[in-house]
Amino acid sequence: MEHFAATVALVGLVIVIASLLSGALERSGLPLVAVFLGLGVAIGPAGLSLVDIRLGSPTLQVLATLGLALVLFSDAVTIDTGELRRERALVLRLLGPGTLLPAATTAAAAWLLLEVPPASAAIVGAALASTDPVILRGVLRSGAVGPRVRLALRLETGMNDVVLLPILAVAILLSRAGVSSDEAMVHDVGRALLGLFVLGPLLGAFVGWVGITALVQVRGRLGVRRDYESLYALGLAFTGYAAAEAVGGSGFLAAFAAGLVVAAQDVELCDCFMEYGEATAEMLLLFTFVAFGTSPIWSGLEVVDPRTLAFVGVALLVRPAVLVPVLGRSGLAPGERRIIALLGPRGLSALLLALLAVYAGVPGAARLFAVTSLVVLVSLVLHGTAIAVFLRRNRPAVSRTPSTSPRDDASTAAPMETETDAERITLDELDGMLGRGEPVVVVDSRSAKSYDADQLEARGAVRLLPDDPVREAERLRLPRDTTLAVFCA
């Protein structure tokens, strides 16, 4: 009961601290994960000794499994298939040579410098080729980078894991094959490859399709509360994972396939997941960072030596060295290519991928995880600092156009107020207000995905981005003495 109470308290701390610090850290550009690594140290053996989560802990395994499944599912859900078609050349460069060459080069460096077997080197190379979406979230949500840079970073962080996961899985199979008989090895590898490339994706896609079909039917006949739709999306992620694992398939690829089907079939559910489900997934990932911070990630400091430090340098420098020439004919300006190449932090996704080898029983997996942890720690310091400085220098200021109205001049002196319990208005009521000449502004606050996918627009509507509505309203100079009729779906 003592450990249970400590765990519950830890969950509460993660939620409270993440909520209170989210705004300040977003403005500063500092990575939120660094705060939670520090929280892990504070409550771990080096601090108050409230929690001690070791590398082989079942708790860490559960957190890592759920975290990686949600990372892959949420990455897939936020993919715009139309955007992928339009930018297929950029996607192929990022996920082809832009991902595979750094993985191969890092693996070669691990084989030469760390003197590990080729299969183990491939595990490290695949894990460290993954760039972290959590650390880059502040950049992606800000206006500090142009739309194509933001698109490239979002596509890379959202999809390179699904390219690297099969490489990692095959490398794990080959690493474990050395301790099996030849006949057993062939049988196990064949069955695992079938589950990895066939059963997992097919079952995940099937779960996603059945889930969306059922939701559409129930929504049309009985209605479904929007907040429960976000939980429904999380349920599809976990169901797809469990269904694939039950038959020997890859639950992680199943979660990604389920997310792709959701993204392709139901835009409303995708937007709903982004509103609530993505925040839930982010909380779980931050909780996983706390678990890593109690003890496991600091194992990276135990393997520091000249050869390991040389490997860390290669692992962090190979991506920019590859991406700058690979993106040469992508239509991006030289400055944009440099920004994309430099903003490639290693973080939770690399740790989660390396942890798969530990729980698969790969010989020497603890050392592989320690080396990966060292790269992540150095990356947090270097990339975290660079991102903070970059955001401070490039964050756009809120424009304030001079007003010609005395009423407007007075109103801009006070911050925009928001109504926490806004009234709903029907279309008939809106028509009546417009017909009577009452001051009404129709506001289109749909998500970018819904807005881009719809060819229809409300006549006279003002487009207001939903990410930061108060600042957007001030920027657009929306009058304060009028009714705002906002629609978001």
Looking at the DSSP bridge assignments, the partners of residue 322 are none
* Listed residue (31, 83, 470, 47) closest to 289, CA to CA: 31
Looking at the DSSP bridge assignments, the partners of residue 444 are 463, 487
Q: List C-alpha distances in Å: 326 to 53, 322, 330, 383.
A: 41, 6, 8, 21
Under a CB-based contact definition with an 8 Å cutoff, are residues 157 and 136 in contact? yes
pLDDT number for residue 366: 92
Distance CA 416, CA 264 (A): 37
Distance CA 166, CA 193 (A): 9
> What SS3 class is residue 270?
helix
pLDDT number for residue 372: 95
Under a CB-based contact definition with an 8 Å cutoff, are residues 139 and 352 in contact? no
Element (H, E) at 348: helix 348-359
Question: Cα–Cα–Cα angle for 35, 30, 163, nearest 5°?
Answer: 90
Contact residues for 213 (Cβ-Cβ < 8 A; gap 6+): none
φ/ψ of 407, rounded to 5, equals -65, -40
Give the domain ranges of the chain. 2-394, 406-487
Under a CB-based contact definition with an 8 Å cutoff, are residues 183 and 213 in contact? no
> What SS3 class is residue 443?
strand
Q: Strands 483-487, 440-444: parallel, antiparallel or unpaired by DSSP?
A: parallel
End-to-end CA distance of the chain: 45
What are the per-10-residue average pLDDT scores of the chain (489 residues)?
58 72 66 77 80 80 82 80 79 90 95 93 94 78 75 83 87 72 55 72 91 86 76 87 84 88 74 66 77 88 94 94 88 86 86 88 91 94 83 57 37 40 71 83 77 72 74 75 80
> What SS3 class is residue 453?
helix
Q: In terms of pTM, does the model score above 0.85?
A: no
Out of 1.20.1050.10, 1.10.3720.10, 3.40.50.720, 1.20.1530.20, select the CATH number for domain 2-394.
1.20.1530.20
Distance CA 478, CA 466 (A): 15
Under a CB-based contact definition with an 8 Å cutoff, are residues 66 and 241 in contact? no
pLDDT number for residue 29: 60
pLDDT number for residue 419: 41
Under a CB-based contact definition with an 8 Å cutoff, are residues 479 and 439 in contact? yes
Under a CB-based contact definition with an 8 Å cutoff, are residues 93 and 327 in contact? yes
